[in-house]
Chains A and B, each alone.
Chain A
Amino acid sequence: MTNEDKDDILSHTVSVLVDNESGVLARVVGLFSGRGYNIDSLTVAEVNHVDNLSKITIVTSGTRQVIEQIKAQLDRLVPVRRVMDLTIDGPSVEREMALVKVAGEGEHRVEALRIADIFRARVVDSTNASFVFEVFGKAGKVDAFIKLMEPLGLVDVSRTGVVAISRGAQGL
């Protein structure tokens, strides 16, 4: 750890494999709020029904020392099996999905469809006065799409939060 970058705020994506037992998500979330860490995004779902394992993907930010603390503190929780820092432990891919509702008529509708096409967003619901788009990609792409929809009648957004996985043959 060098002194020059010790105060830089970094964004890290951390993957946490946990035993899917009662209260495990509260433990993880409580750790973040209790110790003053940031959660920029959090997703959780069961990934192995037989062994009863869930994976939690957390996008967090902090100085390098804080990020190291977050990982060590997560690892200390009894039901946590593994903690992996997808930002520095090797290359990884991350994706997010959003459902974006846009209401409008005339030119705005046409423009919304045109932009959706550029972003490869699909229409999953349509009325005479609205669309619901589904859009996938890195969080930044989803952000960009939502921003472009704002002047075209954006009324509601639901986002999954980031899921991520390491590249290559190794599992968590």
Chain B
Amino acid sequence: MSTKQMTGSEIIIQALKDQGVDVMFGLPGGVLLPLYDALFKQNGLHHTLVKHEQAAVHAAEGYARSTGKVGTVLVTSGPGATNTVTGLVDAMMDSVPLVCLTGQVPSSLIGNDAFQEADITGITRGITKHNYLVKDVNDLGRVLHEAYYVARTGRPGPVLVDIPKDVLLATGSYKAPGKNTVVEHRSYKPQVKGDTAAIKQAIELIKNAKRPIFYGGGGIVNSGDAACTLFNQLVKMTGIPCSLTLMGLGAFPGSDDQFLGMMGMHGTYEANMAMHDCDVMINIGARFDDRVTGRLDAFSPHSKKIHVDIDPSSINKNIVVDVPIIGDVAHVLEDMIKYWKADQAQIDTKALDKWWKQINQWRKKDSLKYTKSNKIIKPQYALERIRDLALETGKDTFYTTEVGQHQMWAAQHLCFEKPKRWMTSGGLGTMGYGFPAAMGVQTAHPDALVCCIAGDGSFQMNLQEIATLMDYRLPVKCFILNNQFLGMVRQWQEMFHGERYSESHIEGQPDFVKLAEAYGALGLRATSPGELDDVIRKAFESDLPTIVDIRVDAEENVFPMIPSGAAHNEIILGPEYTETSEDGGSLESGVLV
């Protein structure tokens, strides 16, 4: 590869193009002016000007998670950089590949408390997969290529590159990466191939299992479409029941009979009971998060556990497993299927039939059931209508969510057939994630239907991005399930704090319809179930960004629920179950043991 002389700014633009970046989300500032000048003089690299830097990171996350590519953020020094912190932690927790470029004050001023100086590499050291401060323009190209490589390989994550203004202005040499974009890194070498002996040991366990279950996570989606196909193949050929985590939704078709629904704190009854009672648990790309495991010492007490994860630090972190397999999901599953076939392995079908009978008993509870109303909009009903009417449009549909009750209802009631269609903040639980994330998704998929399911609390954390949606004519549909509460806080206060609703009622709420109109967007409102379909259709038909204020039942709670620190079989079902359960027994205070 030939080496060229360019300014630091030109090197950045060239390196990003060489990395296949087509869009970045950012906001300029003093130290970045040379770079924005270079951006002005080129074509091919688009920049979306956000209104707040946190939104830039979430938008890049939405872009990354809906495409499988690395998202790119560009912000200035000081406050620009510090505003990205929440987004970077979010990306770190949910393994989202990002490169965040931050401007820095000139090298000579670093450490002098210069105007808009912040030690962003120090601040983000623990919340990025890796970060760099580039002090020599001749290192810039190499560091950028390395940053993209580190962000997207292994367990993906955010990488921050801090670039002082003098480096942007200096002239240095740039070397394009070869066709092979694998960087030979000195120390960073993620393991992708699983250990053969461990994979064979896993097959032995699965073969002899009486009550097996697949526990699939976001690692399947992150590994790529091939991993999802292989996962489907393995689930189908073994006939084993499959549950997914919040992050894994879409890795296996939601409508498939073998799918038990989501597991965990607000997962289905059948998924959680099956997780508790199984004898072999096959964890593919999930991390035994506390929202999944509940009380650790009561988590699936009788099972042998197989754990496939690309991150060795995920193994035995929360739960000690019997067969750890370190590697990329696609590689491991490919080998697993290969050895399964070579071995002519057979599942114990008699035991499996019995297991399915038990699961189908649990399924009959229909744990996502809620009481329908023709006076007041139940949030679950609103989601079902959004889901069904979106299906009618025939468009490829992507959903993002904010964080709280609406997020859990969305996970329960929307149905995901394909991976990369569901973007939610799982690990960090970032209110304010969904709306800008939808902006990133729509940027990547201009013709798709992109819906953000929001709460009235969360939406107000990044609502300024309506302006950005207008600027770029991104027709995101934002459905606010408006209960005038911080709903999940209210639910916990009702259940665990004696109905003392301390600071969870949102008094000063804007008129969301007028708010949308103030930005030139479309604002719609539904206050009764009868209006709902019309309003949703209008939203879908409009080519404007649309904010839909859906006034829902403020008292509705998310069920089922495994209270924090409880075991899976201590799952609480909704009020529909308190009187008599379907098998006739009475259920005191809705607690099933």
Residues of A within 8 A of B (CB): 1, 18-19, 22-23, 26-27, 30-31, 34, 65, 68-69, 72-73, 75-81
Contacts and interface: CB of A to CB of B under 8 A. Distances in A.
A142 B143 CA distance: 44
B272 to A, nearest CB: 25
Interface size class of B (residues with CB under 8 A): 20 to 34
Given A22-B133, A31-B126, A81-B187, A76 B313 contact: yes
A18 to B, nearest CB: 8
B521 to A, nearest CB: 41
Contacts of A79: 130, 187
Interface stretch (B315-323, B399-407, B510-518): B315-323
Nearest to B314: A72
Contact of B317 (A69, A77, A81): A69
A78 B129 contact: yes
Nearest to A69: B317
Contacts of B186: 19, 81
Contacts of B185: 78
A65 B316 contact: yes
B125 A27 contact: yes
10 contacts: A30-B125, A30-B126, A69-B316, A72-B312, A75-B312, A75-B313, A78-B150, A78-B185, A78-B188, A79-B187
A72 B129 contact: no
Counting from the closest, the 7 A-B pairs by CB-CB distance are A72-B313, A78-B130, A81-B187, A72-B312, A34-B126, A78-B188, A73-B313
Contacts of B94: none
Contacts of A27: 125
B311 interface: yes
A27 B126 CA distance: 7
Nearest to B131: A23
A72 B315 contact: yes
Most buried by B among A1, A23, A34: A23
A69 B313 contact: yes
B187 A1 contact: no
A121 B178 CA distance: 59
Nearest to A75: B312
Contacts of A68: 316
Interface in B312-344: 312-313, 315-317, 320
Nearest to B185: A78
A76 B312 contact: yes
A26 B123 CA distance: 11
Interface in B121-164: 121-122, 125-126, 129-131, 133, 150
B312 A26 contact: no
Given A72-B312, A73-B313, A78 B126 contact: no
A19 B130 CA distance: 13
A23 B133 CA distance: 10
Contacts of A23: 121-122, 125, 131, 133
Given A27-B125, A78-B188, 18 more contacts: A1-B320, A19-B186, A23-B122, A23-B131, A26-B122, A31-B126, A65-B316, A65-B320, A68-B316, A72-B315, A72-B317, A73-B313, A77-B130, A78-B130, A78-B185, A79-B130, A79-B187, A80-B187
A78 B312 CA distance: 14
A69 B316 CA distance: 8
